[in-house]
Each structure stands twice: as structure tokens, then as C-alpha cells.
């Protein structure tokens, strides 16, 4: 369906949109980037040139390759200029109504064979497609930030998406050098669903006063092997993004307590303390500020790490149980999409399913909350003495 001559459109010239455009252009496709803001387009073009120049200086691409990528990308300020596209990837604000409006307008402009894709991280592809007269050509193609560096892309067919659209879209993104996983259209898909406990359980531990923020981050890095602690990562992502994704997933799962947001993070958002981008979040990033020291107690650190890990494993198991994706794709998504040090389901096998269930049972018995209910798949594997791999 797609060839080297296929033209890719990108809606939105922010970090995600520009990154996706660079990936497609580097793969040899003609790319048209649309934004309704001339200043945003100019900024995106300047950033692209700067980014490519740095890659040349680091000898990761040649000067000729830089020239070719720049020749492949065109920046436009009217939707009508996307009419020649074979694929359009929308990468704008995470607002369902806004996305529906854009897709409805696109259908009036593009040719009948054009595939319409959303880069949404948590909204329903089926809902977005419902705005179109031909929902079969709408699909989710979710890149991770920054798209030029992160290898994972989630491919999400909606209920109405045609199978040939799904398979050809996956093949195209594979040809761009990305690692793709196929996901059912459920809230958060794989990564933004399975990763929720990394943040929410850390926030719960903090709110209960079991440990402070630097200690929790230290435990997950030093004992767990994660590259960043949950609070460092939330600050880097920005609470205007991370909290909103949590709240969106929670609401879309009919307020399931497993995904309940934390008040401490909501208060930061309300105060405009968004993390690194605003200078303050859970940590203070203003010049001269000092990060508090962690309490490097190995026993406490092990308790923190184990509690968060078993919650992650439980969610990964439930995602597999509900057939959101295959075991291989779930583990691939978490290692390639958010750089987890190990595959969660393989980690479960290493720990032993019995030990995972024992830890979760202790949490459920103590708190008496449905938040800690155990995935039926974990119970099933325990009864059958079956490992995930």
C-alpha cells in the first residue's frame, strides 16, 4: 500500500510532530508538516536544522544526508496543502473533541486512499475514527518522545480499522527503522497503561510517609536498576502531561481504583509547578538549589522497589490476560518504550509467581482496597505452576 514515493503528512510542529517528520524524512519520504501557527513552523524548521547540524558534527549523518532530509520536508500553514498525502499522522493536543474536528476536516481534503493516523498516547482511536465517514482508514500510530531516539511505536487499530490498513501501517513504520507492537484499542494502550504503577505506587508510598521522594527515586535506581526514579521522570515528562494521562486512563477505565491519580501530583499541576520545564516540581531546578539526600537504607529501599515492581508485574499480567497485546509485545513495549531494565513478565518468572502473589496479597489484606486486586492470570499461572516464558 505504501511505497518509497508515499507522501507523509504531519499535523502539529511541536516536539512530537517535528520528530516524526524527521524520522519519515530520514527514511526517504517526502513529508509535509502542517501547523496553523507560522511562528511555530519557523521554530520547528530552525530546530530541525539545528538538530541535523549536531548529528553531522557527531558524524552520525553526512552533510549530504542532512541536505536530503531538509529537502524532503516542507512546512505549510493550510490543511489543504496536505491533499497529496498518502498517510497523515496527527500529533496535536490530547483533546478528543479537537482531534475529531481535525479528522473530520481532513476527510474533506485528502484522497480516498489516504490513511489517517493519530499519535495519541491515551485517547480512543475508535472514538476519533467515529468523526469520519470512512472510519476504516483511521488508525493509531503512537511514537514515544523523542521520536528520533525512542525505537518503539505502538500500532493501534480501532474497532472499525481495516486489517490491510493496520498491516500496511505497521510495515511502513517498521521500514522507518522502528520497533512496532500491535495493541488493542484500550485506555493507555500498552506503555501508558502498564507504566501507571511506576508513578502511582511511588506517589502512594510518598503520601503515606513511608519514604521521601529522593529515597524512593534512589531505591528504584540503585536496587531496581531503572535509569530514572519515578519522581525524576514525572518532573522530566511534566505534570501537565503525566498527570493528565493518568487522569485520562482512570476516567476511561470507569474510575478503576487501580489507576486513581494522586492529589500530591494534582496540586503541583494546579500550582503551575510542572517539573523541569517550569523550574520546580517534586524537585527544585532553580539555579543554586540543592537536591535533598536520600535515606540509603537497603531494607527500606528493597521494600519500596518490591512494592512498585509487583504492581507493575500485576498490570502487565492483566494487560496480557485481557488480550490487549501478546506477552512478547508487552515486554518489548516496556523495554523499548520506557527503557525498563528487564521485561516485566520475565521478571515475574525470575521472582516466582508465588512470591509476586504473596506480596500483592499482603498489600490487599493490609489496605483492603480493590487497587491491589490480583490479576486472574497470575492466579491461573500459580495454580497451573506455569511461567510466562
- 3-state SS string over 263-331? HHHHHHHHCCCCEHHHCECCCECCCCCCCCCCCCCHHHHHHHHHHHHHHHHHHHHHHHHCCCCCHHHHH
Distance of alpha carbon 154 from the chain centroid? 9
Q: What's the chain's average pLDDT?
A: 96
Q: Summarize the confidence of residues 86-102 as an average pLDDT.
A: 96
User: Could you say which DSSP state residue 144 is in?
Assistant: -
Q: Is 239 a catalytic residue?
A: no
pLDDT of residue 122 exceeding 90, the answer is no
pLDDT at 300: 98
Catalytic-role residue among 6, 13, 72, 121: 121
CATH 1.10.1040.50 domain span(s) along the chain: 193-383
Q: Summarize the confidence of residues 140-153 as an average pLDDT.
A: 96
pLDDT at 163: 97
- Rounded-to-integer distance, Cα 43 and Cα 146, Å: 17
Residue % of the chain over a pLDDT of 70:
100
Q: Is 154 a catalytic residue?
A: yes
pLDDT at 4: 84
- Rounded-to-integer distance, Cα 309 and Cα 220, Å: 9
Domain made up of 193-383: CATH architecture: Orthogonal Bundle (1.10)
pTM: 0.94
Q: Summarize the confidence of residues 328-340 as an average pLDDT.
A: 96
Which grid cell sits at 370?
480493590
Catalytic-role residue among 13, 72, 161, 192: 192
pLDDT band of 217, cuts 50, 70, 90: very high
Q: Summarize the confidence of residues 213-220 as an average pLDDT.
A: 98
Residue % of the chain over a pLDDT of 90:
98
Q: What share of the chain is helix, strand, coil (3-state, %, to 5)?
A: 55, 10, 35
- Neighbouring residues of 290: CB distance < 8 A, sequence distance ≥ 6: none
Catalytic-role residue among 118, 119, 142, 239: 142
Q: Which CATH superfamily is domain 7-182 in?
A: NAD(P)-binding Rossmann-like Domain (3.40.50.720)
For 290, counting Cβ atoms within 10 Å of its Cβ (0-12 exposed, 13-18 middle, 19+ buried), the class is exposed
Per residue in 156-206, pLDDT tens? 999 999 999 999 999 999 999 999 999 999 999 999 999 999 999 999 999
For 210, counting Cβ atoms within 10 Å of its Cβ (0-12 exposed, 13-18 middle, 19+ buried), the class is middle
pLDDT at 1: 80
Residue whose C-alpha cell is 552520525: 60
Q: Is 121 a catalytic residue?
A: yes
pLDDT of residue 80 exceeding 90, the answer is yes
> Which residues on adjacent β-strands are paired with residue 180?
153
Q: What is the number of alpha carbons within 13 Å of residue 280 lying toward its C-beta?
A: 11
CATH 3.40.50.720 domain span(s) along the chain: 7-182
Closest CA to 2 of 237, 179, 245, 168: 168
pLDDT at 41: 94
- Rounded-to-integer distance, Cα 98 and Cα 83, Å: 20
> Residue ranges of the alpha helices (H) in 15-162?
15-26, 38-57, 63-72, 96-109, 125-129
pLDDT at 205: 98
CA distances from 328 to 182, 190, 338 (A): 11, 12, 15
Catalytic-role residue among 154, 201, 232, 315: 154
Amino acid at each position: 500500500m505504501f511505497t518509497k514515493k508515499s507522501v507523509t503528512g504531519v499535523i502539529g510542529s511541536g516536539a512530537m510532530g517535528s520528530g516524526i517528520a524527521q524520522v519519515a524524512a530520514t527514511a526517504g519520504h517526502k513529508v509535509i508538516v502542517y501547523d496553523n501557527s507560522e511562528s511555530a513552523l519557523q521554530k520547528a524548521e530552525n530546530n530541525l536544522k539545528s538538530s541535523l547540524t549536531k548529528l553531522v558534527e557527531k558524524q552520525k549523518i553526512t552533510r549530504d544526508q542532512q541536505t536530503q532530509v531538509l529537502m524532503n520536508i516542507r512546512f505549510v500553514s493550510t490543511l489543504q496543502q496536505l491533499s497529496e498525502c498518502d498517510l497523515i499522522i496527527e500529533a496535536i493536543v490530547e483533546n478528543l473533541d479537537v482531534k475529531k474536528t481535525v479528522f473530520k476536516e481532513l476527510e474533506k481534503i485528502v484522497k480516498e486512499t489516504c490513511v489517517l493516523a493519530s499519535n495519541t498516547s491515551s485517547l480512543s482511536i475508535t472514538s476519533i475514527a467515529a468523526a469520519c465517514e470512512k472510519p476504516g482508514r483511521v488508525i493509531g500510530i503512537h511514537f514515544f518522545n523523542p521520536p528520533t531516539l525512542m525505537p518503539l511505536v505502538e500500532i493501534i487499530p480501532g474497532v472499525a480499522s481495516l486489517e490491510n490498513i493496520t498491516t500496511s501501517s505497521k510495515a511502513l513504520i517498521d521500514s522507518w527503522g522502528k520497533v512496532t507492537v500491535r495493541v488493542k484499542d484500550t485506555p493507555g494502550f500498552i506503555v501508558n497503561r502498564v507504566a501507571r504503577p511506576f508513578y502511582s505506587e511511588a506517589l502512594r508510598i510518598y503520601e503515606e510517609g513511608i519514604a521521601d521522594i529522593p529515597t524512593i527515586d534512589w531505591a528504584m535506581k540503585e536496587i531496581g536498576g531503572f535509569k530514572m526514579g519515578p519522581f525524576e521522570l514525572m518532573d522530566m515528562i511534566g505534570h501537565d502531561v503525566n498527570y493528565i494521562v493518568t487522569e485520562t486512563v482512570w476516567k476511561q477505565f470507569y474510575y478503576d481504583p487501580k489507576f486513581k491519580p494522586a492529589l500530591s501530583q494534582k496540586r503541583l499541576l494546579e500550582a503551575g509547578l510542572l517539573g523541569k520545564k517550569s523550574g520546580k516540581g517534586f524537585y527544585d531546578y532553580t539555579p543554586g538549589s540543592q537536591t535533598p539526600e536520600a535515606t540509603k537504607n537497603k531494607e527500606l529501599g528493597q521494600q519500596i522497589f518490591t512494592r512498585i515492581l509487583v504492581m507493575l508485574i500485576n498490570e502487565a499480567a492483566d494487560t496480557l490476560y485481557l488480550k490487549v497485546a501478546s506477552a512478547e509485545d508487552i515486554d518489548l513495549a516496556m523495554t523499548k518504550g520506557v527503557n525498563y531494565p528487564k521485561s516485566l513478565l520475565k521478571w515475574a518468572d525470575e521472582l516466582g509467581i508465588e512470591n509476586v502473589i504473596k506480596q500483592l496479597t499482603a498489600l490487599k489484606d493490609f489496605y483492603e482496597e480493590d487497587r491491589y486486586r490480583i490479576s486472574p492470570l497470575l492466579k491461573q499461572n500459580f495454580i497451573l505452576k506455569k511461567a510466562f516464558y
